[in-house]
């Protein structure tokens, strides 16, 4: 591994540790304040927590990209753009002024454009242009929003008259960045980027930027009409992306559409008025989705860049550890009880279905949550349950098996710790939630052991009782077979003696 890459990774790791040890405080730093141009950064619990997750995911992705893009010519360029992207995401996360927010928002869009463009073929060019132009639309909405807010600050026009229109523009900005219903097309198209980019950009950074923006302005957005609008758009996004992921053949796009579905889920939560719960779901999703992207990327890498779900076969020969990790991350994605997705998902579902009379939307919500299981099983099936093609695989490293393990452990234990300290949920449920994945693991091992035992018992019984005894009796009864058998022995013995006699002569 290149020493500079190692040092960058080490800095990110140490940064993550320092954020983890940082007490919960609220700190605002003002570098410069002059009318519109001001550099303000705000450090409070939400931003610090998200930056810790960002540190963790970025560290894993940096190490993963050294493996995935090994011997790539433009590797230094890729690394440089990736670090600019991560830096702009940190800046957006902590920024507390119009200028810094616009600057980091623009940098996010530009660096994501260059990252998607990395392979420089037709597909990546089309995906990059789609991404850049959609995000440019979002930038336009944001410019107008901040422009109006600056004008209203000069008392030319009453702020209350404009605040409703401004909130609408803010919502549209968030929808373009988080790829919500009218602007969803760029997210699957951006999958033409390298898989480590997808793992970072489309799990914990670019798609969550819109939601973080809405959470920063939640006092402005939390009006009855607006949050119901957010709720409906989030529902539509969930529903359409879940349906699309059931018929999509490119497996990276399936994972991207599942990300879109989870973003819709977070939007629905924001539409219910649960800003902090939405944020917690975002954090847990960032952990296990980047992990899932890494595992999918590893399998694609081992299958010689094959992404079509119909062409996989015999992936069961890949290390079992990767398969187990993928199973756990899919459990988290489905929000199965005793996994990290369950804590926030259960809470949100309960609050959505209680005291709610929107029959059509409730049905839609239920179906789209249920379809999560559908596309998760489809992903698993196309990877590990197809044996119809003859294709060689290779697994080039042991280290990769343990890279996503850190994220798997964090996606279970970190959220458990956070819920235990922050959310008002019974502690018994959380203890069970912590030990649940271990139960899943032991259950899988125990079941596989039982199945193997039964299989071997059945095989020995079949062989000794059915096959051996029956066939020997058949062969003994069949005189022609016995005759040929004895003749064969006779001729073999004769030739043996003959050859030994020949050796004696020499």
pLDDT tens for each residue of 14-25? 776 766 666 566
For the ranges 20-34, 75-89, 213-227, 476-490, the one whose mean pLDDT is highest: 75-89
Higher pLDDT, 469 or 99: 99
The average pLDDT across 338-346 equals: 76
Which band of pLDDT confidence, cut at 50, 70 and 90, is reported for residue 48?
A: confident
| 3-state class (DSSP) for residue 387 | coil
What Cα–Cα distance (Å) separates residue 121 from each residue in 118, 126, 131, 157, 251?
9, 9, 15, 50, 19
The pLDDT score that the predictor gives to residue 1 is 54
Q: Is the pLDDT of residue 112 over 60?
A: yes
- Give, for 33, the enclosing helix (H) or strand (E): strand 27-34
Return d(Cα 143, Cα 194) in angstroms, integer. 31
- Do residues 217 and 170 make contact, with C-beta atoms less than 8 angstroms apart? yes
Q: Is the pLDDT of residue 415 over 60?
A: yes
What's the DSSP call for residue 250?
Answer: B
Higher pLDDT, 165 or 117: 117
Backbone φ, ψ for residue 107 (5° rounding): -60, -40
List % helix, strand, coil for the chain (3-state, nearest 5): 80, 5, 15
The average pLDDT across 382-410 equals: 72
The average pLDDT across 51-70 equals: 85
Q: Is the pLDDT of residue 173 over 70?
A: yes
- Do residues 53 and 287 make contact, with C-beta atoms less than 8 angstroms apart? yes
Q: Is the pLDDT of residue 385 over 80?
A: no
Which band of pLDDT confidence, cut at 50, 70 and 90, is reported for residue 34?
A: confident
Q: Is the pLDDT of residue 200 over 90?
A: no
Q: Is the pLDDT of residue 277 over 80?
A: yes
Q: Is the pLDDT of residue 505 over 90?
A: no
Q: Is the pLDDT of residue 161 over 70?
A: no
What Cα–Cα distance (Å) separates residue 158 from each residue in 9, 150, 154, 163?
50, 12, 9, 9
The pLDDT score that the predictor gives to residue 241 is 93
- Do residues 113 and 139 make contact, with C-beta atoms less than 8 angstroms apart? no
The average pLDDT across 246-269 equals: 91
Higher pLDDT, 503 or 80: 80
- Tokens encoding 68: 């995935």
Which band of pLDDT confidence, cut at 50, 70 and 90, is reported for residue 259?
A: very high
Higher pLDDT, 238 or 442: 238
The pLDDT score that the predictor gives to residue 156 is 59
Q: Is the pLDDT of residue 119 over 80?
A: yes
Q: Is the pLDDT of residue 359 over 80?
A: yes
Q: What is the pLDDT of residues 296-332, one digit of tens each?
A: 888 888 887 788 877 777 777 777 778 888 888 888 8
- Do residues 383 and 299 make contact, with C-beta atoms less than 8 angstroms apart? yes
Q: Is the pLDDT of residue 434 over 70?
A: no
Backbone φ, ψ for residue 336 (5° rounding): -65, 145
**Residue 234, C-beta contacts closer than 8 angstroms, at least 6 positions apart:** 180, 264, 265, 266, 267, 268, 269, 270, 271
**H helix intervals, 180-315:** 186-189, 195-200, 206-216, 218-221, 224-247, 251-271, 275-302
The average pLDDT across 487-505 equals: 64
Other Cβ atoms closer than 10 A to 351? 15
**Residue 185, C-beta contacts closer than 8 angstroms, at least 6 positions apart:** 130, 134
The average pLDDT across 283-302 equals: 87
> 122-136, 415-429, 463-477: lowest mean pLDDT where?
415-429
> 89-103, 126-140, 280-294, 338-352: lowest mean pLDDT where?
338-352
Mean pLDDT of the chain: 80
- Tokens encoding 23: 């007490």
């Amino acid at each position: 591994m290149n020493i500079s890459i190692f040092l960058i990774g080490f800095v990110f790791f140490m940064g993550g540790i320092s954020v983890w040890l940082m007490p919960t405080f609220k700190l605002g730093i003002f570098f410069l304040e002059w009318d519109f141009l001001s550099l303000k950064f705000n450090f409070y619990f939400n931003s610090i927590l998200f930056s810790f997750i960002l540190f963790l995911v970025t560290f894993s992705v940096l190490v993963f990209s050294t493996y995935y893009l090994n011997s790539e010519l433009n590797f230094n360029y890729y690394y440089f753009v990736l670090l600019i992207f991560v830096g702009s995401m940190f800046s957006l996360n902590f920024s507390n002024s119009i200028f810094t927010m616009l600057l980091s928002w623009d940098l996010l869009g530009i660096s994501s454009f260059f990252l998607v463009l990395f392979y420089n073929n037709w597909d990546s060019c089309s995906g990059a242009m789609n991404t850049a132009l959609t995000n440019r639309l979002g930038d336009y909405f944001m410019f107008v929003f901040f422009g109006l807010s600056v004008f209203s600050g000069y008392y030319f026009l009453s702020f209350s008259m404009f605040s409703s229109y401004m909130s609408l523009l803010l919502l549209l900005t968030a929808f373009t960045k988080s790829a919500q219903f009218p602007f969803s097309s760029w997210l699957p198209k951006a999958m033409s980027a390298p898989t480590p980019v997808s793992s970072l950009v489309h799990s914990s950074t670019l798609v969550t930027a819109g939601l973080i923006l809405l959470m920063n302005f939640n006092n402005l957005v939390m009006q009855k009409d607006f949050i119901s609008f957010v709720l409906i758009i989030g529902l539509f996004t969930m529903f359409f992306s879940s349906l699309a992921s059931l018929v999509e053949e490119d497996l990276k796009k399936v994972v991207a559409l599942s990300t879109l579905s989870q973003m819709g889920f977070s939007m629905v939560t924001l539409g219910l008025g649960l800003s902090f719960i939405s944020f917690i779901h975002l954090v847990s999703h960032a952990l296990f989705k980047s992990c899932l992207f890494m595992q999918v990327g590893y399998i694609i890498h081992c299958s010689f860049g094959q992404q079509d779900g119909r062409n996989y076969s015999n992936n069961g020969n890949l290390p079992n550890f990767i398969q187990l990790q993928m199973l756990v991350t899919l459990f988290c994605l489905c929000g199965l009880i005793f996994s990290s997705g369950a804590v926030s998902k259960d809470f949100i579902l309960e609050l959505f279905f209680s005291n709610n009379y929107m029959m059509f939307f409730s049905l839609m919500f239920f179906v789209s949550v249920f379809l999560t299981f559908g596309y998760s099983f489809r992903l698993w099936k196309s990877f590990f349950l197809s044996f119809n093609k003859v294709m060689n695989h290779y697994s080039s490293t042991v280290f990769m098996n343990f890279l996503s393990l850190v994220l798997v452990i964090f996606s279970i234990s970190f959220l458990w710790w956070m819920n235990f300290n922050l959310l008002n949920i019974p502690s018994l449920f959380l203890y069970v939630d912590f030990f649940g994945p271990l139960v899943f693991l032991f259950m899988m091992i125990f079941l596989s052991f039982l199945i193997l035992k039964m299989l071997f018992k059945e095989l020995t019984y079949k062989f000794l009782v059915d096959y051996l005894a029956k066939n020997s009796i058949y062969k003994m009864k069949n005189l022609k077979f016995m005759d040929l058998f004895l003749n064969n022995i006779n001729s073999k013995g004769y030739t043996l003696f003959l050859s030994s006699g020949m050796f004696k002569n020499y």
